[in-house]
Amino acid sequence: MSESDVRQLGVSEARANMTELIAEVRLLGKPVALTRRDKPQAMLISMDRWKAAVLDAEVRPLYDELVEDLRHALRDPEFAEAFERKLPRWHELFENNAL
């Protein structure tokens, strides 16, 4: 979802309609940018989206470390050959620098 797809709402209007706004964000899962003078100040997002963002922030460093470890291991011809044989799709992604 691009920034232009996010609904923007003034803080005063959001405050006046907070119950409905929370229900909309929770049920539709679409974030709302809260603005002041047409400048985004904060985002109202569903709990599911927030949990996913927290999980991503926790997992991303581990993912990056895993990719680096695999790149290092693939320098070993024996490991690379076994990796290609057992996990051809993943091997192709690494070969094409898609990860």
Domain residue ranges in the chain: 3-45, 49-95
Residue with the bigger pLDDT between 99 and 19: it is 19
The residue-averaged pLDDT of 30-44 equals 95
Class of 3-45 per CATH? alpha beta
Task: State residue 12 phi and psi, 5-degree precision.
Answer: -65, -45
pTM of the model: 0.60
Transcribe 40-98 into DSSP letters: EEEEE--HHHHHHHHHHHHHHHHHHHHHHHHHHHTTSHHHHHHHHHH-HHHHHHHHTT-
Q: Identify the pLDDT of residue 99.
A: 80
Q: Identify the pLDDT of residue 2.
A: 64
pLDDT digits (tens, 9 = 90+) for 39-97: 999 999 999 999 999 999 999 999 999 999 999 999 999 999 999 999 999 999 988 88
